[in-house]
Structure 1
């Protein structure tokens, strides 16, 4: 006799959404590659019109536009599809906060359930691109020029908006010179320099990255405010004369020993009363979210030896290296700025 099935105590909407979410990033990247957002910036279009302009069938155009609209990237008004504020701000190649390079890079990752299971079981980062783990290349100061420059441009697209958001909220009173360690494209120093006119900046990076950094600094006309210094942050002496040291999305790349080394080196490089500033997505102290920080932590596990930290872990790290006056300030889009001070000389 067939067994009666009990009605589930909840429906499967969440699981269904997660199942379908596998398509979201590829849809976004494909739309960017097809030029959907640039086309609709010039002129809103119907399903039929966009299909004709992009040489897509009506079926394909309908699915693409419906998906982008449901994701909040398009809005349909009077039969035409328009850009939303989000797509107009972050998905047009000519705009300063364009996310295209990092979207394309993410779509190239060898991410699959099997690759993730293997990574979790061995607790080691996945090799990709040229077959190497990227943090191994950073740690050995052996990042090839082409790979370094492509990665730097991708991370610039990921970070520039949040850099500008931070610059509007951070307090730099008393800071005269700030050292931006592993500052990538220099986007944080650029944003901070434009907002805080009395501060001088130094971006310290590996030699192949510095080539790109200097280009971004020059594009913003800030050569007189931002120095670019070639540096292996684990081995080379840090440039002197800075009363603040800044790490943005850096500590999460490394294991606990290297995180401690970086914070200890910053303590030793600062004068008494100097500040260290850390900009990260923080996990809750209960380590149960928020979702963006949790997924970023999984990204770190997949690609690096690092992870996202909780506020408590950062507090312990900073105080363990001698810093005091540790404070946490919500900054932009889920990011927090953590500030601590080297005690004044007695």
Structure 2
């Protein structure tokens, strides 16, 4: 079931107010000064270069939203904000919020896209704006560091020797699996312009001898050999059904008999009456990419089985599937 809707909530849904207040607060970097403890509006204004009176009104609106607390004349971060929006935090996600602020105009074209069925852009952010794509990779790397080690624990790769990460980006999952299984030899395949960022991360983690980097386009180029494990993370929602079906056929050719495929993405619920939050993310892909959308787990299962993978298992609801070649 979706959220319960009332007359007041209808009006709230129609306002952009909270979203713009939040995104502006990230752009002003209001949360970092409070990272060292509660601050007054004047102290925060001095730290970020803002008008104290207007900033106090903005801070009070953030209190009303629930992002921060007010203690007398001082303001303090909530735990979630402290973890994700203070620049000194290892899990800082502010760049992703800033990208959402840049999407303001793209979302303004939603009606046009729905009426015409024509995409508002060509390609996607990684192709069109590599400098922004690099920022996104950094954020995705931090996000993945929270989940990659636990995924590597839950999926047993002790019986496999070689690992291919297709479109592996920053290399976070490759490194997590290779750290968990010291005998595993990794290969990461992604666009050459992405691999510069990947190489920095692998060098930093001293994993150069464990993970080979190969440049190429997984839709156009053949994959570099055959492997015991093939891993695919957050690729499908950038592509069409036809492209994904063809990609799974290619991944099947790259998997050894008895090999394992791991598919991580954002799946729609199987129950069409309750598609889940990923249905909203699918709209984001509609306004910010040429052909992106979310798919249901059953659609992905169908591509896997037609490509020669079987024993499909949902490891994590609407997020991770595994199958055997």
Answer whether TM exceeds 0.5 for this pair: yes
Spell out, residue by residue over 1:8-32, the C-alpha distance to the aligned partner (whole angstroms, 9 max, x if none): xx84221122123x23443333323
Q: TM-score, normalised by structure 1?
A: 0.82
Query: Does structure 2 conserve the Cα–Cα contact (< 8 Å) formed by 1:324 and 1:340?
Result: yes
Q: 1:126–1:133: 8 Å Cα contact kept in structure 2?
A: no
2:136 aligns to what?
154
**How far off its partner does 1:279 sit?**
0.7
1:126 match = 120
**Distance in 2 between residues matched to 1:181 and 1:283, nearest whole Å:** 22
**Number of the residue aligned with 1:167:** 149
After TM superposition, give the deviation of residue 164 of structure 1 in Å: 3.1
Task: Give the 3 Å change call, closer, same or farther, for CA 11–271 of structure 1 in structure 2.
Answer: closer
Q: Deviations over 1:257-310 (max 9, x none)?
A: 100111110011111011111111221112344543111111122223131111
RMSD: 2.5
**Aligned match for 1:180, one of 130, 142, 165:** 165
C-alpha separation between the residues in 2 aligned to 1:284 and 1:86?
A: 27
How far is the alpha carbon of 1:57 from its aligned partner?
Answer: 3.7
Find the residue that maps to 2:169 and give its secondary structure: coil
1:251 counterpart residue number: 236
Is 1:40 the equivalent of 2:30?
Answer: no
Paired residue for 1:231?
216
Decide whether the 8 Å contact of 1:176 with 1:199 is kept in 2: yes
Offset, 1:232: 1.4
How far the C-alpha of 1:78 sits from its partner, in A, is 5.0
Secondary structure of the 2:323 match is strand
Per the alignment, residue 314 of structure 1 pairs with: 300
The match for 1:327 among 313, 319, 324 is: 313
- Aligned-partner Cα distance in 1 for 2:268–2:136: 24
Aligned CA distance change for structure 1 residues 152 and 190 (closer, same or farther; 3 Å): farther
* Gap regions ≥5 residues in structure 1: 1-9
Cα distance change on mapping 1:50 and 1:110 into 2, 3 Å: closer
Count of aligned pairs between the two proteins: 317
